[in-house]
Each structure stands twice: as structure tokens, then as C-alpha cells.
Amino acid sequence: MITCSAPGKVYLFGEHAVVYGYSAICCAIDLRTRVHVEHSDSIMIESSLGMTRLDLEIHPYVTKVIEKMQEFTEIRGVKIKIESEIPVGSGLGSSAAVTIASIQALNELFSCNLKSEDIAIIGHEIEKQVQGSASPTDTYVSTMGGVVMIPERKKLNSIDCAIVIGNTGKFSSTKKLVANVGELRGEFPNIIDPILTSIGDMSHNAEIFVNHGDYSSIGKLMNVNHGLLDAIGVGGAELSELVYAARNSGAISAKITGAGGGGCIVALANDTDIENVAKAIRNTGAEAMITRNTDKGVRLES
């Protein structure tokens, strides 16, 4: 049996602006999806959603991965088991992680010789097929790990402090939120474009702070980024409650991560404040997860 894993991610800067070509900074996190594969007589896919054969309803990403991998090798039978620490549909890149880990697991099992760059490209293609549209961010960061500037694909230094994630548990539709921002931009281009430009510029300022480990300055800009996300209409009471709970309990910074509307916030915290920040998030009734940046992108575990 072969096991491969791939990480989820948070946006430190730049969600939504990245849709319009502005820069964003994304950070792989140590919440991973593990995919176990072994040769079998037939195709079986098992996850917390159940056991299926090729099934575009229940296991769309893995089904598309198997179909795509048939271009590189003949897959008559394989047993695939998925285990994930990344909550689904919360903006933490769960679909990219399962896609990327599945490609790598089949790549290893069938010796297809695909390189990281190929895996990231195929993963993005599959996300687009399943979701209708998708930016290459999640699949790229899940493949490469670390801290990455998008669309430049530039690796920055690692983030060396705790990352506390607060999950509202409220479903967030990326497609709808991206469309809403597009509509607002269409209605008020002279107001919204400067906000998106400012978010993109923020990523460039932050690049230097990330590379110098200046968490205080990164934090100030993340807080500004949160305000600008609110301004373009992707915030909400639940998200703001978590952001202020985190900031008021000692977090360096806190902002929405991902599409917004629901989903998650990301807070940076010094080691001494981690528990207080997580507790403050939990006290609002939300789920808190404590994690860190990981340099390990997709990898063979065993």
C-alpha cells in the first residue's frame, strides 16, 4: 500500500483580488489529507462519505483524478482510501488537497513519473472541471507547500508562528461570493478597483515582511486586508465575531481567509497566546484549530 498526503492552505493576503490578477500570499498549513492506494481487481473509493466506485456525485475529485491518470497508465483496479484533517467547504483547500494527494498516490503506485509542476497543473485542471472555475492557487500551494506568492509562484520564507483557524461552520459558496464581488465592481468600478489594487499592493509590501519575519507588520496589514474584504461585501457578523474574539485575546492579527461569507478566519499568534486565542474563538461557539505553516507540500508518506 502507498500513502501520500497533501496540505490545506490559508490566504494571508489577497483572496478575491487574485481573481483579477492582483498578487496574493498563501500559506500551506499542517492540516493534511492522506490518500492510501493499493492494487485491486476493481476501482473502489472510500472516504467519510462512504464507499463508491467511480462516482461524480460522491467522490468527484478522486473520480476525475482516476479518469485523468488513465492518460498516463492503464488503471483497471485500485482501492483508494481518503482521510482528511481539513474541514470540507470551509476555504482551507480541502478539495485541492484530496486532488493533489490522489494524483501523487496514483503517480507512485503506477510509476507514472509525473513531476511536481505536472501534478499542480493536472490538479488545477481537475478542480476547474469539477467546480466550473478555480484559480490555480490551492492546487499549487498544496503541491509545493510553504508560503507562496501568487500569481508569481514565488516561494517566500516560512511563517514561524502559530496559525489559529476559526471555523464559523457556515457554508460559503466561492462561486457566489466571487460573482457578488464582480457585480459590485461592475456597478462601482471607480470604488472597488482601488480596493482590489490596494489588496494586491499589500501582498507586495507583505512579501518583504514575510521574508524578514516581521510579524507585527504582517499582522497590521492582515487586519487592514480584513477591513477591505468586509468593504467588498464578503464579510459577515459570524466572521467579524471570530476576528474580534481572536484579536481581543492576544492574536497578532486576524482576518477572513478564503471566499468569506462563512467559512474560516485565520489568526496569527505568538506561542504564549495560542490557547487564549483558540479559547476565545471556541467561546463564540465556533470551532478552533491550531496549526502552523508547513514546507511539506504533497509527499509520499509510506
Residue 129's closest CA among 62, 194, 38?
Answer: 62
28 lies in the site for ligand MEV, by CB under 6 A: no
Region of 100-108, 131-139, 203-211, 264-272 interacting with ligand MEV (CB under 6 A): 131-139
State which of positions 53-92 bind ligand MEV (CB under 6 A): 91
State which of positions 230-259 bind ligand MEV (CB under 6 A): 258-259
Cβ atoms of 239 and 257 within 8 Å: the answer is no
How remote is the C-alpha of 185 from its chain's centroid?
24
Question: What letter represents residue 113's amino acid?
Answer: N
Region of 46-54, 105-113, 133-141, 236-244 interacting with ligand MEV (CB under 6 A): 133-141
Phi, psi of 26 (to 5 degrees): -120, 150
Question: What letter represents residue 258's amino acid?
Answer: G
Instruction: Report d(CA 109, CA 94) in Å as an integer.
Output: 22
Least distance (Å) between residue 237 CB and ligand MEV: 19
Least distance (Å) between residue 129 CB and ligand MEV: 15
Question: Helices (H) and strands (E) in the chain — how many of each?
Answer: 9, 12
Report CA Rg, the chain: 19
Phi, psi of 70 (to 5 degrees): -60, -20
124 lies in the site for ligand MEV, by CB under 6 A: no
How remote is the C-alpha of 56 from its chain's centroid?
22
Least distance (Å) between residue 27 CB and ligand MEV: 13
| Class of residue 283 by CB neighbours under 10 A (exposed 0-12, middle 13-18, buried 19+) | exposed
138 is known as an active-site residue: yes
18 lies in the site for ligand MEV, by CB under 6 A: yes
Instruction: Report d(CA 1, CA 111) in Å as an integer.
Output: 14
266 lies in the site for ligand MEV, by CB under 6 A: no
Cβ atoms of 16 and 196 within 8 Å: the answer is yes
Region of 10-18, 101-109, 199-207, 286-294 interacting with ligand MEV (CB under 6 A): 10-18
Region of 13-21, 32-40, 51-59, 190-198 interacting with ligand MEV (CB under 6 A): 13-21
Active-site residue (options: 138, 193, 201, 214): 138
The residue within the footprint of ligand MEV, chosen from 112, 178, 184, 290 (CB under 6 A), is 178
Query: What is the residue whose three cell numbers read 488545477?
Result: 124
Least distance (Å) between residue 137 CB and ligand MEV: 5
172 lies in the site for ligand MEV, by CB under 6 A: no
Least distance (Å) between residue 92 CB and ligand MEV: 9
- Supply the residues annotated as catalytic: 138
Contact footprint for ligand MEV (CB under 6 A) = 15-16, 18-19, 91, 134-135, 137, 174, 178, 258-259
